[in-house]
Structure 1
Amino acid sequence: MLLDIRDLHVRYGNVEVLHQISLHVAAGEIVTLLGANGAGKSTTLLSISGLVRPSGGEIIFDGRALHELPAHQIVHAGISQAPEGRRVFGTLTVEENINLGAFITRDKEKIAQTREWIYDLFPRLAERQKQLAGTLSGGEQQMLAIGRALMSNPKLLLLDEPSLGLAPLLVRAIFDTIRTINAAGVTVVLVEQNAKAALHLAHRGYVLEVGRIILHGEAQDLLSNPQVRKAYLGGA
């Protein structure tokens, strides 16, 4: 098991926002976390990244206890995240943003190879290497956020709402690229409001409600689950 979360509790001040979350992700999987706003999906990702400290439970990644490590060491361990809202550096160029993702790597040849792979994945970024990131469209900024996260050559890529605010055609393109990234050997945990698209992409899923996992299973089973269809798929 690549990632194993056991009885995870997270508090913001006096409020507990994750209540005994347990989930696992095998190497090579795409696993999606579904739920309404405030369900605890992003907090789960932030806990894995080390940006939020658990108040209880364990996060085991590739045999290591992540909950005991600072965030920068978690990147070294093989995890990177493309955050909600993209968070690109608008006054830097596309290439400068991309290069920032390689801060743990000293091998210049490896950096160049990874950057070329990212430009192959996202040709639009290759065309705009010298353009300021703040002038990109929302879809292009999302591509850049994912590309930057890939520069550390992660074993596990965390994606938080990659389709947020994007036109359907761009959503399809982003999701196709996530599938390509996964086929290249990168395991993916995906937080996504577009439940239907996420379940068509993922192998398995977990449904969170008010900080608890209420359902989990194979993606195809969740797609046909009446509770999921009513709550997240518009009954379709």
Structure 2
Amino acid sequence: MAMLELAGVHVFYGHVHALKGIDLVVDEGEIVALLGANGAGKSTTLRAISGLVRPREGSIRFQGHDLLRLPAHQLPALGVAHAPEGRRVFGPLTVDENLTLGAYRQADRAAVEETRRWVFDLFPRLKERRHQLAGTMSGGEQQMLAIGRALMSRPRLLLLDEPSLGLAPLVVRQIFHTIREINRQGVTVLLVEQNARAALKLAHRAYVLETGTVAVAGPASDLLRDPRMQEAYLGGRAGRAG
């Protein structure tokens, strides 16, 4: 059974038909990339999974649970965490306080501290900055914190929305390396990413959305070589060597 399955999902924003019957499957242990142009429906797909928007039609199931029957705040207890686009850290709070908020449903304080140590192992910079106000950190550090905060609930499925947005290439490489390590340690990842080439090198499989529908899907390695992907998302033939 798939860990996550979307079937025939339609989402509207008023009269705007944002998702038009999306079908998507994520198996346990995978990194799956969700690619496409701005406005294609990528972030809406993640928001539908995490309960922030409600589909008008279709089904979303996570390990047998019907997510459409649950309020968003109950999903972390099931094992679903969402690191949203734009990071959205709590600027007036410290790194430690942001991480603690990510574990708000965890009653076992020893387990929370163990998870905090895990996050600091993944992101040593956060340990160095643990008493710093999040709002004074760089964009890359805030992205690390957004991911770390999501990990504090010990998710089985991590939804990542545009983790490379606005970051320098060196920082992007560091964050993508850490995403691979998070996955290696047992967390399944559904990744929305504008940097299609980097996402396809990281992911096992990928879906490409166009105006709210799945246009292309398949193994990431195949899509890297697909001429349609080359022309539309990977910078043309000249980008193949990158």
TM range (shorter): over 0.9
Q: Distance in 2 between matches of 1:172 and 1:59?
A: 32
Q: Distance in 2 between matches of 1:41 and 1:170?
A: 23
* Aligned position for 1:144: 145
* Aligned position for 1:62: 63
| Deviation at residue 190 of structure 1 after TM alignment | 0.2
| Deviation at residue 14 of structure 1 after TM alignment | 1.6
| Deviation at residue 213 of structure 1 after TM alignment | 0.3
* Aligned position for 1:14: 15
Q: Deviations over 1:124-162 (max 9, x none)?
A: 000011000001000000000000000000010000000
* Aligned position for 2:31: 30
* Aligned position for 1:135: 136
Q: Distance in 1 between matches of 2:105 and 2:91?
A: 22
Q: Structure 1 unaligned runs (5+)? A: none
* Aligned position for 1:49: 50
Residues paired across the two proteins, number: 236
Structure 2 counterpart of 1:114, which letter? T
> Which deviates more, 66-75 or 131-140?
66-75
Q: Deviations over 1:38-79 (max 9, x none)?
A: 000000000000000000000010001001110011121110
| Deviation at residue 16 of structure 1 after TM alignment | 1.1
| Deviation at residue 15 of structure 1 after TM alignment | 1.6
Equivalent position SS for 2:199: helix
Structure 2 counterpart of 1:225, which letter? D
* Aligned position for 1:75: 76
Taking every aligned residue pair, what percent have the same amino acid on both sides? 64
The alignment yields a C-alpha RMSD, in angstroms, of 0.5
* Aligned position for 1:225: 226
Q: Deviations over 1:89-137 (max 9, x none)?
A: 1100000001100011000010000000000100000001100000100
* Aligned position for 2:200: 199
Equivalent position SS for 1:39: coil
Q: Map 1:113-124 to 2 at 5 A.
A: 113-124=114-125
TM-score (norm 2): 0.97
Q: Distance in 2 between matches of 1:21 and 1:79?
A: 19
* Aligned position for 1:163: 164
Structure 2 counterpart of 1:129, which letter? R
TM-score (norm 1): 0.99
| Deviation at residue 226 of structure 1 after TM alignment | 0.6
